[in-house]
Structure 1
Amino acid sequence: MTVTIYHNPDCGTSRNTLAMIRNAGIEPVIIEYLKDPPDQVTLLDLIARSGLTVHDAIRQKGTPYQELGLDAQSKTKMELLAAMVTHLILINRPFVVTPLGMRLCRPSELVLDIFPQPQRGAFTKEDGERVVNENGERIPH
């Protein structure tokens, strides 16, 4: 089974998602999108297949989102996409692709929704939040 993660190793959510993929016994294809960025067509495909709008997939916190005026109602989908490709930090992360679908995994445990196999054991996020119990079952929150 091939799993792909569009990853930013400096992002805690992305690191947690990658760790949960590995906790399921899967070594994914890792695309560090800041080093190997998707083009506009690929990015639009990732967003659409995740069931999101471009506005849903753009990262606002810790980015030049407001400085670039991207919050203006007049901005089109294509203008937002162009900004995301130019300023890669605007791409929200991580996107994960599995045979069961694609998700923007924010929060990171959304990755569990697109796994065909269970977790192999307990998982606790970097911040101490337990999301999977010792039996590999998701802990409801």
Structure 2
Amino acid sequence: MDITIYHNPNCGTSRNTLALIRNAGIEPKVIEYLKTPPSRSQLKDMIAKAGLSVREAVREKGTPYADLGLDNPALTDVDLLDAMLEHPILINRPFVLTPLGARLCRPSEVVLDILPLPQKGAFAKEDGEPVIDAEGNRIA
């Protein structure tokens, strides 16, 4: 299965998402988007495929969001995309693209909606929260 994750290795949610993909027995294409940001068309496409507005795809926490005045409701999608391309840290993460769909995987277990099940074994997040049981099934 061809899977791409727009990943930030410094983000726990992104690390958990990548680990869930690998727990499905899949080695994804990992794009560290802070080093290799998507193009404008790629960014627009993955936001649209994930069913989000551009504003919903902008990360506020730990970014220059407020300093750049991005909380201004008069800003257009073009303005927000320009800011995200100039400051890739503003791109919320992790985005995952698979043949089954695209998602902004917050929380990380959202990725399970676009991965084949069952998983290959038990899985718990970095904080110990169980997500997949020993039989490879999602824990509700």
Per the shorter chain, which TM-score range? over 0.9
TM-score (norm 1): 0.97
Name the % identity: 66
- Alpha-carbon separation, structure 1, partners of 2:116 and 2:99: 8
* 4+ aligned runs moved over 3 Å, structure 1: none
Instruction: Tell me the residue number matched to 2:83.
Output: 83
| SS of residue in 2 equivalent to 1:85 | helix
Work out whether 1:22 is the aligned partner of 2:27: no
- Alpha-carbon separation, structure 2, partners of 1:128 and 1:28: 23
Residue type matched to 1:139 in 2?
I
- Alpha-carbon separation, structure 2, partners of 1:77 and 1:56: 11
- Structure 1 residue 15: Cα displacement: 0.4
Contact 2:117 2:136 in 1 (8 A): no
| SS of residue in 1 equivalent to 2:102 | strand
- Alpha-carbon separation, structure 2, partners of 1:25 and 1:48: 27
Would you say how many aligned residue pairs link Structure 1 and Structure 2?
140
| SS of residue in 2 equivalent to 1:62 | coil
- RMSD of aligned residue pairs (Cα, Å): 0.7
- Structure 1 residue 117: Cα displacement: 3.4
TM-score (norm 2): 0.98
Q: Which runs of 5 or more structure 1 residues have no equivalent in the other structure?
A: none
Q: Which runs of 5 or more structure 2 residues have no equivalent in the other structure?
A: none
Equivalent residue runs for 1:1-141 within 5 Å: 1-140=1-140
